[in-house]
Amino acid sequence: MSKILIGNVDEFNNLECKPVQVGRKKVLVWRSNEKFYGTQDKCPHQGASLECEVLTGTMMPTKPKSLEYGLDGLVVRCPWHKWEYDVATGDSVFETENGCLKTYNISVEDEKVYIEL
């Protein structure tokens, strides 16, 4: 795998993505507090762009009559149909049949952000 420099840590806003062009691939790089994640741009359901979305959390499965909020700062929600994906794993939050987001390894060294392809 090769590491490619994609920017400095301070160029990435918390809970937002920054689109990065790596060769012919457009990758969304997400920052959640001090961790960085990389995903494809398109929702696997019907191809909506996720570029303008922000990271949030979601309501988790629980027992009847109870509510639990979880995955705070790790969930991107599709703007078209509200499907939710965990940016850390790429998995659909509710395990739908339409797959998961492709993810990319992001690393930080000396305040520089790298993507591994």
Q: What is the pLDDT of residues 44-95, one digit of tens each?
A: 989 999 999 999 999 988 999 999 999 999 999 999 999 999 999 999 988 7
Q: What is the pLDDT of residues 34-44, one digit of tens each?
A: 999 999 999 99
Question: What amino acid occupies position 62?
Answer: T
Q: Which domains does the chain have, with CATH numbers?
A: 3-116 (2.102.10.10)
Q: What is the pLDDT of residues 10-24, one digit of tens each?
A: 999 999 999 999 999
* Predicted structure pTM score: 0.91
Q: What is the pLDDT of residues 84-103, one digit of tens each?
A: 999 999 999 887 666 789 99
Extract the runs of DSSP E, i.e. beta strands, from the chain: 3-8, 17-22, 25-32, 35-40, 56-59, 69-77, 84-86, 103-109, 112-116
